[in-house]
Amino acid sequence: MARSTNPTGFDMKTFTDAATSREWRARDPWARSEAWRYTGPFTRWNRMKRAFPGLGIASVAFAGYVLFEALFLNKSHGHDNGHGEGHH
């Protein structure tokens, strides 16, 4: 079956071939100018790592504080000495 021609001259196959992402990337005039955004210090991992600069140190410090409090600080402080069972 022969393809019918569009009276306007528009060919859908030509349009979809021109609009594919692979075709566009091959012909992108700004590709070289945009390449720096995804290399070196601007990679996805480096951007994520630099988003929270003190998170690692703060996490270790907080874990150390919680461990110190659990092991060395007295929890009772003598508040319940001398009171009966039903008090408070």
The Cβ of residue 49 has, within 10 Å, a number of other Cβ atoms equal to: 13
pTM: 0.42
Alpha helices (H) in 1-88, listed in sequence order: 12-19, 21-27, 31-34, 44-51, 55-72
Note the pLDDT tens digit of each residue in 17-63: 777 666 566 677 777 777 777 788 888 888 888 888 999 999 999 99
Q: Structure tokens of 4? A: 């019918």
DSSP letter (8 states) at residue 4: P
Q: What is the pLDDT of residue 33?
A: 78
Q: What is the pLDDT of residue 36?
A: 78
